[in-house]
Amino acid sequence: MNKKIKNKNIILGLIVVLGVLIIGKIYMKPKEIQVEKIVIKKEHVKTADEISKNENIVFLGDSITDFYPFDEIYEDLPIINSGISGYRTDEILPRMEELVYRYNPTSVYILIGTNDFREDSDEDLVKIVEENIKKIVDNIKQNRKKTKIYIQSIYPVNKKMANNATEDRDNEEIKEVNKYLKSFCKENDVKYIDLYNSLTDTDGNFAEIYTKDGLHPNSLGYAKITRVLLPYIYGVE
């Protein structure tokens, strides 16, 4: 497949994702969803062929990453799913070689921390999450100096939904961690990707249009997440 066709397919893929979001907007109340505009210049978009030849992309995290349908959405892109359901920040650190380094990644997208808050604890969980994510980043920088690091904000939860998936997670604590992560990234040459505010409703909860249980994204949620991530993956952020 030549480069022109590849570029065409990429643009069509972006249009499909946007189309899904627009359909969702039509069938939901306006207050429940806000779709931002995104402009990607065609001449600046890297082709899938260019990415597959030059990059190896690792997504590191818990069940939210584990359940992400990468193969369906990103097709031939060299994306490695290193999401492990149920994992906390401290469980990632001992397995960095297995989950990250053996793939020789050129970029790593980190989404971890929500499971640290799933049970009530007397410990300062916010501080623990912050320190462990810092250790993960420092570890990558020491072992893969040229690897680009991206940190996704921890996603919001919706405790109003009729299930127990959110457990003791709290959006105020999550926002506190995200505030730290944003500042940490700015000071340490790491890209921060704010998905928290892209997924919330007007009450500040995980918008029901985007989640199946108040914790994990549904299909439309992953489409929205993909739409936010695409400019970073294709180098046009």
List, for residues 25-60, the tens digit of each pLDDT value: 434 443 444 444 444 444 556 777 777 677 899 999
Q: What pLDDT score was predicted for residue 39?
A: 44
What is residue 46's DSSP assignment?
P
Q: Return d(Cα 71, Cα 100) in angstroms, integer.
A: 18
Contact between 75 and 120 under an 8 Å Cβ cutoff? The reply is no
Q: What pLDDT score was predicted for residue 55?
A: 83
The confidence band for 207, taking pLDDT boundaries of 50, 70 and 90, is: very high
Give residues with Cβ within 8 angstroms of 131, minimum separation 6: none
Considering its fold, how many domains does the chain have in total?
1
Q: What pLDDT score was predicted for residue 60?
A: 98
The DSSP annotation for 117-143 comes to: GSS--SS-HHHHHHHHHHHHHHHHHHH
Query: Token digits for 218?
Result: 């549904």
How confident is the model over 55-109, as pLDDT tens digits? 899 999 999 999 999 999 988 899 999 999 999 999 999 999 999 999 999 999 9
Give residues with Cβ within 8 angstroms of 74, minimum separation 6: 226, 233
Q: What is the CATH number of the domain that holds 224?
A: 3.40.50.1110
Enclosing H/E stretch for 57: strand 57-61
How confident is the model over 104-151, as pLDDT tens digits? 999 999 999 999 998 777 789 999 999 999 999 999 999 999 999 999
How confident is the model over 7-17, as pLDDT tens digits? 445 555 555 55
- CA nearest 152: which of 206, 225, 100, 80? 225
Q: At what angle do helices 219-233 and 3-27 cross, to 10 degrees?
A: 140
Q: What pLDDT score was predicted for residue 28?
A: 44
Place of tokens 């505030």: 179
How confident is the model over 159-191, as pLDDT tens digits? 999 777 899 899 999 999 999 999 999 999 999
Q: What pLDDT score was predicted for residue 2?
A: 53
Its domain, for residue 31, covers 3-233
Mean pLDDT for the stretch of residues 219-226: 97
Three-state DSSP at 73 gives helix
pLDDT for residue 23 is more than 50: no
Query: Token digits for 20?
Result: 């899904």
For residue 27, CA distances in Å to 6, 23, 33, 205, 220 come to 32, 7, 10, 19, 12
